[in-house]
Amino acid sequence: MPPIGDGPTFVPSSYTIGARLGSGQTSHVYQAEHPVFGTVALKLPRPELSARPVLRRMFENEVAITVKLAHRNVVSAYDGFPTGEGAFLALEYCGGGTLDQHLLERGRLPLERCFELVIDVAEGLAHTHSRKVLHRDVKPANVFLTEQGQAKLGDFGTGLFMGEESEERVGTAFYMAPEVFEGRSAGVLSDVYSLGILAYEVIGGERPFVGDSFDALMVAHHTAVPKDLRRLRPGLSNSMARIVAKAMMRDPQKRFASAEEFAKAVRAAAGLPAPGAAAAEPADAPLTGRSSRSDPRAQATSEREAAAKAGARDEDGKREEPKRRGPFGWFRRDK
């Protein structure tokens, strides 16, 4: 297919340009073919970047960051050059579109599918952090789906290497952590907050905080109480709702300490096996994994395991549900 409009003024050698897939702040994205890489998403800087140093730096950052990441849940970079008239970035082509498009088209997804998507994003973000990179704009529009339905975190234009100084307040207000609104530096915990907002939206089918302006959203993130996820999804377990609420806590120190910790908690509550775990289990093995979700004993087991950290124990060693008011007031009593 020919490119839309006049097409790019520069195309790196060995790439054949096809349709324009979309445009962002810093680049136009084209479907392209390469003799070795096959079908790719080719990012080419917008012409105006030559006169806009902040946007130019964002594109350079995206190239520098993306080529350092390699994980099944991160969009792969095949090739790239960060600066000058020959700048480009060739990325893995994800034929399933973006997660926000998927949610818009499909509406509320089956819970099992929701958990799989949330875990994919969390594990991609955990890898990103392990490589000392902050994403700073985790949201469904920056998650890409393969044709097989696997979710991959991408679009690192607002990314930052840990340790680099930045006074910029970047991100998308629907997903931005309260401390970032306040002007404090982004960090791992602010990325975890954005991940929690994404998880709420994927599972609940709507955003937890809404507003018609940046200021209105800032107030909402600081003061509003989101709807109880269990009311939006009646089949959702208490433990899963509690996990999402913890990721969204306003106090950064009360959130999960890492995206990896969050991913493990979601897996446990959903009864999903760890990556690489054997599919078959002996008949007398603990009831966990995909095949056991229809068994009520397995659901009870996984919920108890995931909720163990939140529960106390009485004098006889039996677990008690916490009596304190939970995150956002959702858990004063179980329904």
CB burial of 135-173 (b: ≥16 within 10 Å; e: otherwise) equals: bbbbbbbbbbbeeeebbbbbbbbbbbeeeeeeeeeebbb
Read off the pLDDT of each residue in 87-103 and give the average, rounded to a whole number. 94
Look at the chain and count its residues: 335
| Whether residue 146 has pLDDT greater than 50 | yes
Question: What is residue 6's predicted lDDT score, i.e. its pLDDT?
Answer: 59
Read off the pLDDT of each residue in 129-138 and give the average, rounded to a whole number. 96
Question: How many other β-carbons are positioned within 10 Å of the β-carbon of residue 297?
Answer: 9
Read off the pLDDT of each residue in 229-249 and give the average, rounded to a whole number. 96
Q: How far apart are CA 65 and CA 246, in angstroms?
A: 29
| Whether residue 170 has pLDDT greater than 70 | yes
CATH T-level assignment (fold) for domain 16-92: Phosphorylase Kinase; domain 1 (3.30.200)
Question: What is residue 300's predicted lDDT score, i.e. its pLDDT?
Answer: 43
CATH T-level assignment (fold) for domain 99-278+285-329: Transferase(Phosphotransferase); domain 1 (1.10.510)
Quote the tokens at residue 26: 């810093």
Question: What is residue 269's predicted lDDT score, i.e. its pLDDT?
Answer: 95
CA atoms within 13 A on the CB side of 238: 19
Taking all residues of the chain, what is their mean pLDDT, rounded to a whole number? 84
Read off the pLDDT of each residue in 264-273 and give the average, rounded to a whole number. 93
Q: How far apart are CA 77 and CA 328, in angstroms?
A: 40
Q: How far apart are CA 26 and CA 61, in angstroms?
A: 11
Task: Please state which of the ranges 137-141, 197-201, 292-296, 313-317 shows the lowest mean pLDDT.
Answer: 292-296
pLDDT single digits (tens) 25-67: 889 999 999 999 999 999 999 888 888 888 888 899 899 999 9
Question: What is residue 312's predicted lDDT score, i.e. its pLDDT?
Answer: 45
Q: Do domains 16-92 and 99-278+285-329 have the same CATH topology?
A: no
List the catalytic residues. Answer: 137
Beta-sheet strands, E only, within the chain: 16-23, 27-34, 38-45, 77-81, 88-92, 133-134, 143-145, 151-153, 160-161, 312-313, 319-320
Closest alpha carbon to 205 in 114, 268, 290, 280: 114
Domain ranges of the chain: 16-92, 99-278+285-329
Task: Please state which of the ranges 75-89, 98-112, 135-149, 165-179 shows the lowest mean pLDDT.
Answer: 165-179
